[in-house]
């Protein structure tokens, strides 16, 4: 059978058949959506997208996010056909393609660059990890905010250094997930005219027709959000697709939603709109029928005509190379005229710190009354941020409580009118806030976001993706314990510390006093590929006398000896984090008065402690000392690692209660008497 003669149709058929063959060979995956949306992706990449396949991390490239990550073969096929080059974590080009034909042939197999869903930092050209529906489009909002922020920061008359657009392709599942609505609402409020979502309106999900559970008017909803909405009635109409993309690029003052009506598994009449076309391989017979409908050799597998490769090279390849070269020449002139800004831009792109970022971090004098963790963090944050220009962030409507507002001159509010502000108001949108933070981090801003610890549950999917993508997002959580008091169990976190510590790659800091807060920030800011949860108290904590106790520099090693009995080895170890460390110290003094030798170990970051060598860990927690008491106002889960199977953990084994703090501490056993009694029992 002769191949299609029209180069556009030949290219689209190549994308479709590569997707079909990859899924069929893996015997796993989703062929329907890539088949249906291949024309839309082709129209965008071939004719519009500003992207240089030879350097897929060029700073002013347009971003493409495949939010419906189950359609990953669509993106992999495009990366293969464009010849996108691989780049490593040190931003070096490796001289090989990011996705080879062999990778496509090994779709969903171990170590293939084509995993089941697109993974950032694994496959060059993938802008963000997607798969959990809604996350991709929500993350794209952060990317668009980041682009506008960088334009406000770096662009100068005659130098449009940053003006890229962000495109995200989404499906019905993305539209149903609440995070997409939160993010779309924020995008409309901020008038992100550089943001375009392409919605595959195929009316199918895993269970069947969307009419089973979804009947809203998406277009009207987005118009209400403040978006421009346009529609393409046939996903195969390249002229209308191109017209819609031109409409987006001409639209100012609001983001754009392009609704594309498609039939999942298009070209396969007896499998259209079926579950199999969505979530299962087509099967050998259906593959042949589908290829026949495309005018494709029925038995050809992973066929890429030479003229298709040449066509991609002539269009997106040549266009991207030209645009990149023009930008590079512009940046050379920019560097000569604005060397300080150019240096900042370079450092930002490589996640390097500005010199002197930590020069103003305060030290806190000993004070029995003390200061809350959140207030200490506010002072440290506002000492760092003026020396760290691309440190930006905000709160899910809680900045007055989390104390995360940047207050120095020039730290304005980010808004539609002022996209370069340093304070971001996310509104009561905890889930979208996390996605936006990931998008900002992917744009190389250093992003932080704050909320109460209890509401970390609302952003858990984004926390997990931060860790999976190795993004240095800073999550600030305050109101960290039953110390919230009268607000009661709905606002008192219990299981949250354990669940955060369970996320691979996430560092959880819970500092014990103001100087531990400062030391935590010193450890957090230099991280380039590690997200952090900084957990802070609402109530005041005594600022410890460091001339008497161990230096807070020990925070950099995760755990350290804070107080020690002199003369002999300790008989019992008292372990704690956060607000319970002063309680351990008080018990230590009581035991000392009774002739019992104890050691107090502050353990603000378990993950850091686990990274230390065995010699250091044994020096802090000597294996031969099995009498141990751990104290933390949280679930006891996990503490057996350090307390040992014979140790005692004073923690929460139920939800909290609504009462003044002192009454709660007595009710749940967080008293000096309880710690002293437990220590004696251990002996």
Percent with pLDDT over 90 in the chain: 90
pLDDT at 279: 67
Q: Which of 582, 349, 303 is nearest to 443 (CA)?
A: 349
Angle at the Cα of 427 from the Cα atoms of 425 and 428, rounded to 5 degrees:
145
Choosing from 119, 177, 182, 430, which is the catalytic residue?
430
Torsion angle defined by CA atoms of residues 207, 210, 216 and 219, in that order, rounded to the nearest 10 degrees: 130
Distance CA 39, CA 235 (A): 7
User: What are the residue ranges of helices labelled H in 190-274?
Assistant: 218-225, 238-250
For the chain, list the domains and their CATH numbers: 7-323 (3.40.50.970), 367-542 (3.40.50.970), 554-682 (3.40.50.920)
- Return the axis-axis angle of helices 514-524 and 373-384, rounded to nearest 10°: 40
Write out pLDDT tens, residues 534-593. 999 999 999 999 999 999 999 999 999 999 988 789 999 999 999 999 999 999 999 999
pLDDT at 213: 85
Tell how strand 204-205 and strand 208-209 pair up: antiparallel
pLDDT at 11: 97
The structure's pTM equals 0.96
Torsion angle defined by CA atoms of residues 384, 385, 386 and 391, in that order, rounded to the nearest 10 degrees: 140
pLDDT at 278: 53
Question: Is 430 one of the annotated active-site residues of the chain?
Answer: yes
CB 262 within 8 A of CB 201: yes
CB atoms within 10 A of CB 206: 10
pLDDT at 95: 83
pLDDT at 265: 56
Write out pLDDT tens, residues 287-343. 999 999 999 999 999 999 999 999 999 999 999 999 999 999 999 999 999 999 999
Q: Which residues of the chain have pLDDT under 50?
A: 266-277
pLDDT at 269: 33
Q: Can you say whether residue 474 is alpha, beta or left, with left for phi > 0 and alpha for psi between -120 and 50 degrees? A: beta
b/e per residue 32-57 (b: at least 16 CB within 10 A): bbbbbbbbbbbbbbbbbbbbbbebbe
């Amino acid at each position: 059978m002769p191949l299609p003669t029209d180069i556009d149709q030949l290219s689209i058929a190549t994308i479709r058949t590569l997707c079909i063959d990859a899924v069929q060979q893996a015997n796993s995956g989703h062929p329907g959506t890539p088949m249906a949306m291949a024309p839309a992706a082709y129209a965008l990449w071939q004719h519009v997208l500003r992207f240089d396949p030879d350097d897929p991390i060029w700073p002013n490239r347009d971003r493409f996010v495949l939010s419906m990550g189950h359609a990953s073969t669509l993106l992999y096929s495009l990366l293969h056909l464009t010849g996108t080059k691989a780049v490593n974590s040190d931003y070096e080009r490796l001289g090989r393609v990011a996705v080879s034909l062999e990778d496509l042939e090994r779709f969903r197999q171990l170590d293939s660059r084509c995993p089941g869903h697109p993974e950032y930092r694994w496959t060059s050209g993938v802008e963000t990890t997607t798969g959990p529906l809604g996350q991709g489009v929500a993350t794209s909002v952060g990317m668009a905010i980041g682009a506008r922020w960088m334009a406000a920061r770096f662009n100068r008359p005659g130098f449009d250094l940053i003006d890229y657009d962000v495109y995200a392709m989404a499906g019905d599942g993305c539209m149903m997930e609440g995070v997409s609505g939160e993010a779309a609402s924020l995008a409309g409020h901020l008038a992100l005219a550089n943001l375009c979502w392409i919605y595959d309106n195929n009316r199918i999900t895993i269970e069947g027709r969307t009419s089973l559970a979804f009947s809203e008017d998406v277009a009207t909803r987005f118009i209400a959000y403040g978006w421009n909405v346009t529609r393409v009635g046939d996903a195969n109409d390249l002229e209308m697709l191109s017209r819609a993309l031109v409409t987006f690029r001409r639209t100012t003052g609001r983001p754009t939603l392009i609704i594309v009506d498609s039939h999942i598994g298009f070209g396969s009449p007896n499998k259209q709109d079926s579950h199999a076309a969505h979530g299962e391989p087509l099967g050998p017979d259906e593959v042949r029928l589908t290829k026949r409908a495309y005018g494709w050799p029925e038995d050809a597998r992973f066929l890429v005509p030479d003229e298709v490769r040449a066509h991609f090279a002539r269009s997106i390849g040549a266009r991207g190379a030209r645009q990149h070269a023009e930008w590079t020449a512009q940046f050379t002139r920019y560097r000569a005229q604005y060397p300080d800004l150019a240096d900042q831009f370079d450092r930002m792109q490589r996640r390097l710190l500005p010199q002197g970022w930590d020069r103003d971090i305060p030290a806190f004098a000993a004070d029995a009354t003390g200061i809350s963790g959140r207030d200490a963090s506010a002072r440290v944050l506002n000492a760092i941020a003026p020396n760290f220009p691309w440190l930006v962030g905000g709160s899910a409507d809680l900045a007055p409580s989390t104390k995360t507002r940047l207050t120095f001159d020039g730290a304005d509010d980010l808004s539609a009118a002022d996209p370069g502000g340093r304070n971001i108001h996310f509104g009561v949108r905890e889930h979208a806030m996390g996605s936006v933070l990931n998008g900002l981090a992917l744009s190389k801003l250093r992003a932080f976001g704050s909320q109460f610890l209890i509401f970390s549950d609302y952003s858990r999917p984004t926390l997990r993706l931060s860790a999976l993508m190795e993004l240095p997002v800073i999550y600030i959580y305050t109101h960290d314990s039953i110390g919230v008091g009268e607000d009661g169990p709905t606002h008192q976190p219990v299981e949250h510390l354990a669940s955060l510590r369970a996320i691979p790659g996430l560092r959880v800091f819970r500092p014990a006093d103001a100087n531990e807060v400062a030391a935590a920030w010193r450890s957090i800011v230099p991280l380039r590929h590690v997200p952090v949860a900084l957990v802070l108290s609402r109530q005041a904590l005594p600022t410890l006398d460091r001339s008497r106790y161990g230096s807070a520099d020990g925070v950099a090693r995760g755990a350290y000896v804070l107080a020690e009995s002199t003369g002999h080895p300790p008989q019992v170890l008292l372990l704690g984090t956060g607000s319970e460390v002063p309680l351990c110290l008080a018990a230590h003094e009581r035991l000392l008065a009774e002739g019992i030798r104890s050691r107090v170990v502050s353990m603000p970051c378990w993950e850091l402690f686990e990274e230390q060598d065995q010699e250091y860990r044994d020096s802090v927690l000597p294996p031969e000392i099995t009498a141990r008491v751990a104290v933390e106002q949280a679930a006891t889960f996990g503490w057996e690692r350090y307390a040992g199977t014979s140790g005692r953990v004073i923690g929460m084994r139920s939800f909290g209660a609504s009462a003044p703090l002192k009454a709660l501490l007595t009710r749940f056993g967080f008293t000096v008497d309880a710690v002293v009694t437990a220590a004696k029992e251990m002996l």
